[in-house]
């Protein structure tokens, strides 16, 4: 049977009624979330390393000094490891850095290295991001999506071993039949044996291609001087509803837009979709290891992270149940709260129960999720912000000041009931 050696540690979670137990931090830790790591630039996907002792954090970076039409680029993307995140003071390191990042001036809302995982080779990482040789800052869809295999050398210089060209696969296959665009957002490494060798494959959630790619090494192309080339095939694809100009069709169903991926102990794969950030249009789909759809949970909004344990499904909603709209376009009954709080939710439900109750905790702009020992749940927060946060102002679509990118351990003791959101009629 296939083994999933990435994504989420399976752990038993004690139930208090339908909600996971509040996480006990010890007598000196007050209730509420615990800050595990701060000072991160646009933190996105979370995974566990192969030893399940370090959180792998994809940092999309903060752009850089080269700006074209308010899109600023630079080598600021990275992969960060948080060793023993359950410790009071975890060890934080950055084994992979210098990855291409694009952001607005000031470093917010970055695009780039949004997904990362480790392989079963010590010190080796795989990163879903952009190929600098294909990236064009003047063309939003010319991102040059790629999956790279990188390793931290003893000299602290990141060495890129190989690229898998997702942009080329999108140009050749274009599985959803829409505009050619590769924007990889999350990655899951799958290992099929217990041997230490780079023979596993990766599943990559590509938001631009509306597809999950399977990226597999072709060892027939390997030489003493070069690693193997990678074969890229469409593992799962969703239909397109975009208009010819590339914009979303408001009269049709929302695009799925895969942004997140995780696996359970049985090898089943869970993919979360953004749903074009329309209220109630986001979903999580459960697949078998071979890509057969098994289950589905609807009624979410703007999914940017998923995780599972033995019993529960955890879902990040970037803006909570209702996303903010640009000034002047926000209906009064859908306006973001005026309290100054940053929007966002993490929702939990019992994934083995039909029509399971949903519970939520407020988490600012969450993205990646991971479940650890004793039922602890970790989330990347303020996931569209650089390390110093985002100031309030007319250029800030969130509507209020946002803290810096960080990783939290969540506390569900104050979770409240939520219902699936019914999509608006077209």
pLDDT digits (tens, 9 = 90+) for 161-181: 778 999 999 999 999 988 889
Tokens describing residue 76:
């600021």
Which position has the higher pLDDT, 164 or 327? Answer: 164
3-state secondary structure of 146: strand
- Confidence label for 121 from pLDDT (cuts 50, 70 and 90): confident
Q: What is the pLDDT of residues 25-74, one digit of tens each?
A: 444 566 789 999 999 999 999 999 989 999 999 999 999 999 998 899 99
Residue 330 reports pLDDT greater than 60: no
- Confidence label for 122 from pLDDT (cuts 50, 70 and 90): confident
Q: What is the pLDDT of residues 283-299, one digit of tens each?
A: 999 999 999 999 999 99
Provide the residue count of the chain. 426
Residue 3 reports pLDDT greater than 60: no
Q: Per residue in 374-383, is it b (16+ CB within 10 Å) or e — as a string?
A: ebbbbbbbbb
Q: What is the mean pLDDT of residues 379-400?
A: 89
Calculate what percentage of the chain has a pLDDT beyond 90.
62
pLDDT at 108: 95
Residue 10 reports pLDDT greater than 50: no
pLDDT at 113: 96
pLDDT at 346: 97
Angle at 344 between CA 343 and CA 349, to 5 degrees: 150
Q: What is the mean pLDDT of residues 357-377?
A: 94
By mean pLDDT, which of 1-15, 211-225, 356-370, 372-386 is the weakest? Answer: 1-15
Q: What is the mean pLDDT of residues 265-293?
A: 95
Residue 405 reports pLDDT greater than 90: yes
Residue 425 reports pLDDT greater than 70: no
Calculate what percentage of the chain has a pLDDT beyond 70.
84
pLDDT at 242: 67
CA separation, residue 201 to residues 159, 233, 306, 377, 421 (Å): 20, 11, 20, 26, 35
Q: What is the pLDDT of residues 243-254, one digit of tens each?
A: 666 666 767 788
Residue 155 reports pLDDT greater than 60: no
Residue 343 reports pLDDT greater than 80: yes
Q: What is the pLDDT of residues 300-320, one digit of tens each?
A: 999 999 999 999 999 999 998
pLDDT at 2: 26
Q: Which residues contact 51 (CB under 8 A, 6 or more apart)?
A: none
Q: What is the pLDDT of residues 206-241, one digit of tens each?
A: 999 999 999 998 888 888 877 778 899 999 999 887
Q: In whole numbers, what is the pLDDT of the chain averaged over residues?
A: 85
Q: Going from the N-terminus, what domains does the chain have, and what CATH number goes with each?
A: 3-418 (2.120.10.30)
Could you please report the per-residue DSSP string of 274-327? -GGG-TT-EEEEEE-TTS-EEEEEEEESSEEEEEE-SSEEEEEETTTTS----T
Pairwise CA distance, residues 229 & 165, whole Å: 10
- Confidence label for 348 from pLDDT (cuts 50, 70 and 90): very high
3-state secondary structure of 333: helix
pLDDT at 229: 83
Answer for the pair 216, 230: CB distance below 8 angstroms, yes or no.
Answer: yes
- Confidence label for 197 from pLDDT (cuts 50, 70 and 90): low
| pTM of the predicted structure, to 2 decimals | 0.89
């Amino acid at each position: 049977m296939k083994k999933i050696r990435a994504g989420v540690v399976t752990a038993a979670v004690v139930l208090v009624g339908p909600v996971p137990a509040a996480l006990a931090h010890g007598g000196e830790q007050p209730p509420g979330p615990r800050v595990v790591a701060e000072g991160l630039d646009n933190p996105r996907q979370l995974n566990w390393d192969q030893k399940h002792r370090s959180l792998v954090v994809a940092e999309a970076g903060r752009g850089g000094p080269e700006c074209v039409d308010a899109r600023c680029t630079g080598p600021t993307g990275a992969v960060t490891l948080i060793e023993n995140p359950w410790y009071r003071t975890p060890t934080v390191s950055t084994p992979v850095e210098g990855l291409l990042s694009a952001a607005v001036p000031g470093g917010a809302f970055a695009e780039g290295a949004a997904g990362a995982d480790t392989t079963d080779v010590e010190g080796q990482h795989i990163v879903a991001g952009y190929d600098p040789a294909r990236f064009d800052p003047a063309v939003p869809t010319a991102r040059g999506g790629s999956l790279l295999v990188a390793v931290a050398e003893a000299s602290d210089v990141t060495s890129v071993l190989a690229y898998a060209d997702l942009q080329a696969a999108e140009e050749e296959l274009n599985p959803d039949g829409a505009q050619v665009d590769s924007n990889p957002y999350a990655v899951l490494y799958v290992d099929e044996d217990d041997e230490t060798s780079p023979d596993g494959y990766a599943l990559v959630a590509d938001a631009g291609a509306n597809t999950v790619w399977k990226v597999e090494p072709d060892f027939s192309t390997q030489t003493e001087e070069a690693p193997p080339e990678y074969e890229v095939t469409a593992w799962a694809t969703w239909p397109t509803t975009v208009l010819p100009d590339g914009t979303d069709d408001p009269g049709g169903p929302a695009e799925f837009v895969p942004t997140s991926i995780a696996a359970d102990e049985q090898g089943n794969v869970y993919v979360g979709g953004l749903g074009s950030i329309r209220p109630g249009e986001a979903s999580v789909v459960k697949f078998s290891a071979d890509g057969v759809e098994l289950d589905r949970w609807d009624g979410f909004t703007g999914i940017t992270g998923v995780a599972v344990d033995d019993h529960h499904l955890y879902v990040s909603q970037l803006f909570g149940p209702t996303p903010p709209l640009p000034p002047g376009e926000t209906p009064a009954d859908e306006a973001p709260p005026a309290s100054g709080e940053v929007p966002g939710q993490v929702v939990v439900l019992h994934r083995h129960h039909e029509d399971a109750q949903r519970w939520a905790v407020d988490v600012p702009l969450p993205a990646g999720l991971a479940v650890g020992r004793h039922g602890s749940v970790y989330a990347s927060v303020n996931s569209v912000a650089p390390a110093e946060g985002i100031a309030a102002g007319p250029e800030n679509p969130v509507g209020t000041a946002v803290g810096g990118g960080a990783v939290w351990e969540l506390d569900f003791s104050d979770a409240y009931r939520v219902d699936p959101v019914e999509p608006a009629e077209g």
